Structure 1
Amino acid sequence: MEDITTAVRAVCVTAAGICIISHLTEGTRLRSQAEFVYRLVFAIVVAGFIFGGIKQIELPDLSIFDSNEFSFSTEAYDNAVVEQTASNISDILLSQLSAAGITVDDIVTEVNISEESGISINRVIIRTADFEKAAEIICCSLGQETEVVNGNS
């Protein structure tokens, strides 16, 4: 932190020096030469900070993230994706059934996501008074192989 403070001070002093020299030597041939010298000093200060800082930078040890404490994250992520996908499909089916005039008490979609990221809709459990019509709409949307289960029984 002290190195950063020193570098910032050096940059500020150098920038102030450039401004002062440019105002004092305005209209003279000395102005361009003095500005050139101060700009070189400015570049050296900034470069010195950058190259000096690179030597002192230490990368964090990332091996701590390979421990068993974080091994559950892939499984938790996969479960969250399955739950979110099932919820999204249920919401879409609910909107389709509502558009058809079918009142739905509850709809649960069971999905399976394969290793290749393929989504299989295993079963749809639905609670509604008009189950036959709802099952027909769901099978038209998801395919005839989708199992639609009456949740009322």
Structure 2
Amino acid sequence: MPGLNKDQQIKTVGEGLAIGFLNLGVRAITTNKLAVEHAWRMQWRDWSKRSTFPSVKADLDINHGYGQVIHDSDRRMNTAGAFKREGQWFYPYRWDKTWSLEECLTLCREKSVSLEEWTDLARLLVEELKDDEVVYAG
């Protein structure tokens, strides 16, 4: 199978990150551009699977970085996971709530990244955000 194109890489990272947040128990993250941008720039470079997605960058260019990955995508269908924006929050969700998170990841085009690795990326980002910029379930 040929490698993923830029748009497929961006979509896959968004899907996987949403699932990773859900696995961490994150209900929402802030829409504060500066906070999310900072967390993305600081942590994307350190994620162990980053090289799997060479078109996704940690620079300020919204056409490559977090702005394409974490955005309001609640109209997506047949996707592992996505984000819905409501007010000051991005809510990660899975497309089919009856599926386990592992089952949701079967919809991702890139199969070499595990649930644990997506969760690691989500954890790295959450660690950069302030307590009042993350809402946990329950």
TM-score (norm 2): 0.26
Larger RCO, structures 1/2 (Cα 8 Å, 6+ apart): 2
Query: Which has more radius of gyration?
Result: 1
TM-score (norm 1): 0.24
